Amino acid sequence: MIRNLILILIIVAMLLTVFNFDLAGFDLKSNQTLIFLSAVVIAVIALVLVVYNTLKTSKGEE
């Protein structure tokens, strides 16, 4: 339960970073673009882990 809460907070933080990014300034050489891409990757990984942990605990309770 705590692990899922932490992952959800990570997802929220990464989504705030993504929403704060200005797509007009998208340049692969920019540090802001690398932070944006990293935030997207981390948010996706955290989302997958939340689903995995939820399915794992629901199967364990059956």
SS (H, E, C) 1-62: CHHHHHHHHHHHHHHHHHHHCCHHHCCCCCHHHHHHHHHHHHHHHHHHHHHHHHHHHHHHHC
9-58 tens-digit pLDDT: 999 999 999 999 988 888 889 899 999 999 999 999 999 999 999 998 88
Tokens at 53, concatenated? 């942990």
Confidence of residue 62 (pLDDT cuts 50, 70, 90): low
Q: Which pLDDT score, from 0 to 100, does residue 52 have?
A: 93
pTM for this entry: 0.85
CB contact at 8 A, 17 and 36: yes
42 vs 1, which has greater pLDDT? 42
C-alpha 3/C-alpha 39 separation (Å) is: 19
